[in-house]
Structure 1
Amino acid sequence: MNENVYFECRKRAAIHNERLNSRAGAAEILGISESTLAHYELGITKNIPVDVVVMMAEVYNAPELKCIYCKSECPIGKELPIATEAGNIEGITVRMLSGLEDEKIDKIQKTLLRIAEDGKVEAAEREELKEMVQSLDRVYKAITELRMMAERK
């Protein structure tokens, strides 16, 4: 059976809400047909409406569904450093705080000020800017993990 993240999240949520054990119960809560939910869970329907994904994320207490949708379906989100699952609080904290160390932040601040000083980004400065953005992207990804964790009830 081609079970996917929508199915997995519903089954995980069924531990706390027995109506979610069946597609019929979940579909009723979500306000969609059972066959539509089956198509989503089996991967038959490739483009699930965003409002349904948001509803599933809320009903299933699975904020990662929104991030997965953005990362896989949205052409803009595909390019962003968005986490699609939250690790444990210890790992998230280490990744985030290691990127926010005073020395790293000071270097980013000084580099950015030097680059911005003349109001132009010269060709030679582009590589430094790219490295700086990559460093901040790692922090941003850890922040999205922390957001997912915080959104869970």
Structure 2
Amino acid sequence: MVEEAGTDQVTRPRWLSLGGALLSGAAAAAWGDGETEVFALHEDGQLWNRYWDGASWHDWKSLGGAFGGEPAAAARDAERIDLFAIGTDGVLRHRWWDGRRWVEWRAVEDAPRGARAVSCAWSGGRLDVFVWGADGALHHADLA
């Protein structure tokens, strides 16, 4: 007998392995209708990404760098995806999709060195970036 989930029942999700040899959790950004990109630190210490185009997952692809923690990602739209990660040297780095290509990694000026974690979000015209500093405090900057 097959049972269908009614309005008061919870359906079980189907989990799909996206593979990879990860050293961190993933950051995700939805950048279009039904389109999502995920980013994670792989065993080679580089950040890699994989994306869903609305129909299928594309293979993992290296975005380079040398990192030691989980990345943070936010998308304003399909023309702008921002990615942040803390380098093995303790420097916060930023890379973004400009609608045609990934711009090379750049150090974020005046960001607290030795940060432990980073998160970010687009809100209107603001790109809010939050860093958990080595001093234990939360630091914020609008980098738009």
Instruction: Mark yes or no: TM-score above 0.5.
Output: no
Higher relative contact order (CA 8 A, sep 6+): 1
User: TM-score w.r.t. structure 1 length?
Assistant: 0.26
Greater strand share, structure number: 2
Greater helix share, structure number: 1
